[in-house]
Structure 1
Amino acid sequence: MSESELFQRHLDHMRAAAQPVAEQWLAACVRKLAEPVMDRAAAQPVLALIRSAHARWVGDLATRIRQGITAAQLKRRPAPAAARPAAPRSLSDLTLVDEDQAEREIEVSRVIQVVDLEAEWVLRELVGLASALQVAHGEPMGLAQYPAGPAVYARAFSEMAQAMQLPPVQRAALMRAACAGAAEVLKTAYTEAAQQIRSWGVEEARYQRSAAPGGSQEARLALGPSMQRLLSSPRLQAGGDDPSVALLARLFQEMLTDPRLNGPMRRVVARLQGTVQKTAQRDRSVLASQDHPVWQLIEQIASYAEEHGQPEDAAASDFMQFVEPLVDRLATGAAPGREAYAQALGELRGYVAQDEAAELARAADARRLLDQAEHEDALRPVLREQVQLSLRKVPQVGENLRLFLLGPWTDVMAHAVVHLGDGHAETQGMLSAVDELLSSLQPLQDAAQRQRRMRELPGLVARLQRGMQLVGMSKVRAEAMLDELMDAHRKLLLPAAAAGPAPAPAEPIAQAAPAGPDTDIQWDDDDAYLREQPADRWGHSDTNLGHLPTVPMGLDAEAAGAAVAQWVKGLREGQRCKIFLQGQWVTARLMWQSENGGFFMFSSPLEGGSHSLTRRALERLRAEGLVTDVAEPSLLQRAVDSLMQDL
């Protein structure tokens, strides 16, 4: 869409204000973190980090705010039809929302909620003024379409916090401080921006508040009486025209300024105005209920537009090619009857059903990957239990090796079973590697056993290396584990130790030199294996999540958790939800869920088109009120409500 020069000047002002906003916001965070009520153990490290590089973080936040405003502005402009994303080849290629991502969405939502609550009227004024700048360009704007809304600032702060690489407790403290400072800082920035627009002589347009999740059945049932009240209003009765024609003109005027409709879809609905007015003069039921096929047809068009985003994307372009001839057929000639609208609605729903089926087919590779991931998740506890049984038979095993077998190597075995099949020779080799590895670390009885073990080790280590490659383990971690095993085997296989007592489990070396590319083991030389020096140790790898503290759930929390789980369990494919993703509320449709309900795939108008969530992430968002059923007012209901306010 085109933009007015004044609107561009306004957004340039908001970008220029990003630096002082960032300075004031971080200053407010520092004050909040320094308060005695804050948990000092969590707050003090964050304070120290910000103070040690204050200018850096101010600049980082300001840059992210400017980039966010620009990105949101670009989304409002026409763009070439986007190419469909390539099929994912691995789980890492998917935009999978896990628990960590869900927590970040929750953080962003809390900042937005605080700003919406504390600065609501200032935002109403500013969005109304900004929308007035665009009236001449035919594009009404609500808060969701405003490129400098609270969501842009909240996402920018969340991204900066992510760049700080803080532990979860410290990040939570920072985001709590961000919530406390956001309302005051942004309220001031929005007030100054509104004053600037007013100084240009611009008058506020009517504020179009975006549809929030919710709505009521009572409002739906009251639509008929509301229509009758509007028809009998003095304003419509005073005119010389048929009140029904005048009312329909007002209803279409309201619908065509609704932010749910983008430009091309707005033109499609506008094309229907004349023919609906003709039909209403013959069929009085048009103004009696929103269940009339006329309104269902318009609502289906609006729903598709809302779910598929910009008309420039491939799906929306195909939809326009289908729906425009359909509407032209209705708009041509005499007033169509109820049956004609019902037929058009049936054709439109048929198109939508085919489009949804095609979208699901395009996601076949992603569904396969998620199915495999779910199968692996189900296998891990079983395989881990088998590893534990093997470990009990060999009590003297180093802690690093124990963690390796119960963690990464269990992942290797699950991956092999799912991707290669449990009967595959390579899978069998991965499964048997546990007992073979533990056996290889037992004391030797004689020289013959030493020679036999020397011959067996190269094949065992090759399997370990192959397994680590299968699950994408980093080279550093893989080499650390292999070096530790090499150290243990060296001590065991030296001729002097062949008949000696069992060696103590190898302990990690605190300051070991990292392995380089020239330290690869030459397995065709037995003595070379013994001469190699170990590099970095497995004990210096990622944190063991099993050691993190847990908090017992109270009775009320248990009941709430059960309700959340029940809601998720009741989801059905094709069901539409309102979900908070990427810092905004969107309408999403459940395309697919895995067999055991571990993964869910939604279609939405956001970038990428489809979004996969783990069950835990979905439950976490639901618990925070960030996933709801779709019960929002229809396009017609919103128009009627707006006219009722004018009575």
Structure 2
Amino acid sequence: AALEATGSEFLGLLDRLQRGESDLTLGGERLDLPSGGGDTGNLLRALSRSAASKRIGAFDAALIDVVATLFDYIFDDPRVPALMKGLIGRLQIPLLKLALADREFFSNRHHPARRLVNALAQSATDWEGAFGTGTGLYRIAEELVVRIQSDFSDGTGLFAVCLKELEDFLARKEHEADGRTAPIVAQLENRERLEIASAMATESVAAHAANGSLPESVRQFLAGAWVEVLTRAALDGGQDGALWRCALATMEDLVWSVAPKAGAGERQRLVRIIPTLLRSLREGLDRSGMETADQETFFAGLVRLHAAAVKAGMVAGTVRPEAAPAPAATTQPRKQEAAVPRFAVAAEDAGESGPLAGLARGCWLNVRDASGVVRRVRLSWVSPARTMYLFTNHQGERALALSRPELERRLAEGSAALAQERPLFDRVVEGVLARLQSQEESEA
């Protein structure tokens, strides 16, 4: 009768298979195995079906079948590029040896070998464009696989070292990708600051601009030119800065100055504040870039409004004459400077909730464009106030910037969705367990 191979004989066979040797025998039986020692051919499946398999102990044979089934699932997974499947396939023998010696291989999601396979598969899946042998990812993956094939004996140490090297490589690539997006990030940060500053300014003048008792020219001035002044003040020093406080105080003085003056005290106060008011108005308008001619038109009208305010307070029932409407503010276009100081403003509802729940920097989304093409993109940057989101591919290229409302809309309608695929090894282990359970139920 044929003798069962000893444990040492079987492990010796695996060592030779790992080195890529051919013309092997086990217990006197020749192994009929495909050449190449791996790639996307299931070497373990061929081993379990060879004539020599009857020389293998029952437990080892069962374990070979389980690991072979794992690789069946890996090779059939459409999400993993074929070249990466080939590299992972060359780890069949080392992974089998690990499974034979380490019972936690199947149950421990944090096992270094499992994490390495997951990282290899996921990084290749996230790669946009052709994943070829010339890519940096392929080169380092091949280097690690060759080292494992050459040096692995037992234990998880070598897998842990290789995992660390791969993670360091991916971290460097992510850092390089972030560097490529830096100019776009600077533009988006400045855009967000400008939008928030403008919103603050508009809100600050809203009550006065809507006050029907104010002269129409003043209301137009506040809603136009003075919003620009407040916006610039917010950008230059924030809402706690001296420029912002001065601009608000100047606005209040302006509103008071054109109201009817009821008595001598109010008229005397108006005379006292006019020089400071005019100076503050001019300084603010100069900073905002309002043309000198437009300023003079406004100030000429303001003189008439002040005269009317005094007269209206002295003569009961006098209707205040309206000055000519203030000209539209013709300001010089503001350049979005590269280093605008931050200011302490928190956008309302900026916390991630609703459609954006679970969204964090580094996560991946599948985004469908108008033509129906789906791209896999990484959330590379979130603006300080969480109003802008920048997505790129793994290389930090093909940037896609979305405002918060636009991103919420896309997520709600389904044209964008979080890519929540489970790690490759977790998926295949679940598939194998489900298959084994189904077999047990059919045999019962």
Task: Please say if residues 112 and 156 of structure 2, whose CA atoms lie closer than 8 Å, have aligned partners that are also in contact.
Answer: yes
Select the structure with the greater relative contact order (CA < 8 A; seq sep ≥ 6).
Answer: 1
* CA distance, structure 2, for counterparts of residue 282 and residue 594 of structure 1: 45
* CA distance, structure 2, for counterparts of residue 373 and residue 404 of structure 1: 24
* CA distance, structure 2, for counterparts of residue 309 and residue 338 of structure 1: 31
TM-score, normalised via structure 2 length:
0.53
Aligned partner of 1:419 among 215, 225, 236: 236
SS at match of 2:117: helix
Aligned partner of 1:617 among 398, 406, 417: 406
Structure 1 pair 302/237, CA: closer, same or farther in 2 (3 Å)? Answer: closer
What is aligned with 2:129? 310
1:296 aligned to 2:84?
Answer: no
Task: Please say if residues 286 and 294 of structure 1, whose CA atoms lie closer than 8 Å, have aligned partners that are also in contact.
Answer: no
Structure 1 pair 606/237, CA: closer, same or farther in 2 (3 Å)? Answer: closer
Aligned partner of 2:146 among 322, 328, 333: 328
What is aligned with 1:142? none
Task: Please say if residues 588 and 603 of structure 1, whose CA atoms lie closer than 8 Å, have aligned partners that are also in contact.
Answer: yes
Task: Please say if residues 330 and 336 of structure 1, whose CA atoms lie closer than 8 Å, have aligned partners that are also in contact.
Answer: no
What is aligned with 2:166? 348
SS at match of 2:417: strand
1:270 aligned to 2:86?
Answer: yes
CA-to-aligned-CA distance 1:139-184 (integer Å, 9 cap, x gap): xxxxxxxxxxxxxxxxxxxxxxxxxxxxxxxxxxxxxxxxxxxxxx
Structure 1 pair 282/365, CA: closer, same or farther in 2 (3 Å)? Answer: closer
Task: Please say if residues 592 and 602 of structure 1, whose CA atoms lie closer than 8 Å, have aligned partners that are also in contact.
Answer: yes
* CA distance, structure 1, for counterparts of residue 108 and residue 300 of structure 2: 78
Residues 32-431 of structure 1: pairs in structure 2 closer than 5 A? 240=51, 244=65, 253-254=75-76, 258=78, 260-261=80-81, 266-280=82-96, 283-284=99-100, 291=109, 293-310=112-129, 317-320=135-138, 322-333=140-151, 337-356=155-174, 359-360=177-178, 383-388=201-206, 390-391=208-209, 395-398=213-216, 402=219, 405-406=222-223, 409-410=226-227, 412-421=229-238, 427=244, 430-431=247-248
* CA distance, structure 1, for counterparts of residue 411 and residue 225 of structure 2: 31
Aligned-pair CA distance for 1:593: 3.7
1:571 aligned to 2:355?
Answer: no
What is aligned with 2:393? 604
CA-to-aligned-CA distance 1:277-328 (integer Å, 9 cap, x gap): 3542663579957956445323312322343423699xx9554554443233
Task: Please say if residues 301 and 324 of structure 2, whose CA atoms lie closer than 8 Å, have aligned partners that are also in contact.
Answer: no
SS at match of 1:332: helix
Aligned partner of 2:374 among 585, 606, 611: 585
TM-score, normalised via structure 1 length:
0.39
Structure 1 pair 572/360, CA: closer, same or farther in 2 (3 Å)? Answer: same
* CA distance, structure 2, for counterparts of residue 294 and residue 241 of structure 1: 28
State the AA in 2 paired with 1:327: V
Select the structure of larger CA radius of gyration. Answer: 2
Give the number of equivalent residue pairs: 340
Aligned partner of 2:285 among 458, 464, 467: 464
What is aligned with 2:22? none
CA-to-aligned-CA distance 1:354-389 (integer Å, 9 cap, x gap): 544565566566666656666666666664454245
SS at match of 2:126: helix
State the AA in 2 paired with 1:628: A
State the AA in 2 paired with 1:418: L
What is aligned with 1:173? none
Aligned-pair CA distance for 1:345: 1.9
Aligned-pair CA distance for 1:344: 1.6
CA-to-aligned-CA distance 1:364-415 (integer Å, 9 cap, x gap): 66666656666666666664454245557882332x7635634674354244
State the AA in 2 paired with 1:283: A
Task: Please say if residues 360 and 591 of structure 1, whose CA atoms lie closer than 8 Å, have aligned partners that are also in contact.
Answer: yes
* CA distance, structure 1, for counterparts of residue 128 and residue 420 of structure 2: 19
What is aligned with 1:486? 297
State the AA in 2 paired with 1:270: G
CA-to-aligned-CA distance 1:456-484 (integer Å, 9 cap, x gap): 869845743541x5xxxxxxxx77x9759
State the AA in 2 paired with 1:276: Q
* CA distance, structure 2, for counterparts of residue 490 and residue 357 of structure 1: 57
* CA distance, structure 2, for counterparts of residue 249 and residue 363 of structure 1: 38
Gaps (5+ residues) in structure 2?
A: 1-41, 54-63, 312-318, 330-348, 440-444
Task: Please say if residues 275 and 335 of structure 1, whose CA atoms lie closer than 8 Å, have aligned partners that are also in contact.
Answer: no
Task: Please say if residues 251 and 640 of structure 1, whose CA atoms lie closer than 8 Å, have aligned partners that are also in contact.
Answer: no
Task: Please say if residues 304 and 323 of structure 2, whose CA atoms lie closer than 8 Å, have aligned partners that are also in contact.
Answer: no
* CA distance, structure 1, for counterparts of residue 249 and residue 68 of structure 2: 81
CA-to-aligned-CA distance 1:200-243 (integer Å, 9 cap, x gap): xxxxxxxxxxxxxxxxxxxxxxxxxxx9xx97xxx997665767
Aligned-pair CA distance for 1:330: 1.8
* CA distance, structure 2, for counterparts of residue 423 and residue 239 of structure 1: 79
Aligned-pair CA distance for 1:571: 3.4
Structure 1 pair 607/334, CA: closer, same or farther in 2 (3 Å)? Answer: closer
* CA distance, structure 2, for counterparts of residue 403 and residue 619 of structure 1: 35
* CA distance, structure 1, for counterparts of residue 51 and residue 105 of structure 2: 19
**Cα RMSD for the two superposed structures:** 5.7
Task: Please say if residues 577 and 588 of structure 1, whose CA atoms lie closer than 8 Å, have aligned partners that are also in contact.
Answer: yes
Structure 1 pair 390/639, CA: closer, same or farther in 2 (3 Å)? Answer: same
Structure 1 pair 415/360, CA: closer, same or farther in 2 (3 Å)? Answer: farther
* CA distance, structure 2, for counterparts of residue 413 and residue 634 of structure 1: 51
Structure 1 pair 379/236, CA: closer, same or farther in 2 (3 Å)? Answer: same
State the AA in 1 paired with 2:421: E
* CA distance, structure 1, for counterparts of residue 88 and residue 248 of structure 2: 66
* CA distance, structure 1, for counterparts of residue 150 and residue 48 of structure 2: 30
Task: Please say if residues 383 and 414 of structure 1, whose CA atoms lie closer than 8 Å, have aligned partners that are also in contact.
Answer: yes
Structure 1 pair 381/640, CA: closer, same or farther in 2 (3 Å)? Answer: closer
Structure 1 pair 397/420, CA: closer, same or farther in 2 (3 Å)? Answer: same
* CA distance, structure 1, for counterparts of residue 127 and residue 231 of structure 2: 37
Structure 1 pair 485/617, CA: closer, same or farther in 2 (3 Å)? Answer: farther
Aligned-pair CA distance for 1:270: 1.9
Structure 1 pair 431/289, CA: closer, same or farther in 2 (3 Å)? Answer: same
* CA distance, structure 2, for counterparts of residue 499 and residue 280 of structure 1: 96
Task: Please say if residues 602 and 611 of structure 1, whose CA atoms lie closer than 8 Å, have aligned partners that are also in contact.
Answer: yes
Query: How many percent identity over aligned positions?
Result: 22
Of 323-332 and 481-490, more deviation after overlay is shown by 481-490
Task: Please say if residues 380 and 411 of structure 1, whose CA atoms lie closer than 8 Å, have aligned partners that are also in contact.
Answer: yes
SS at match of 1:628: strand
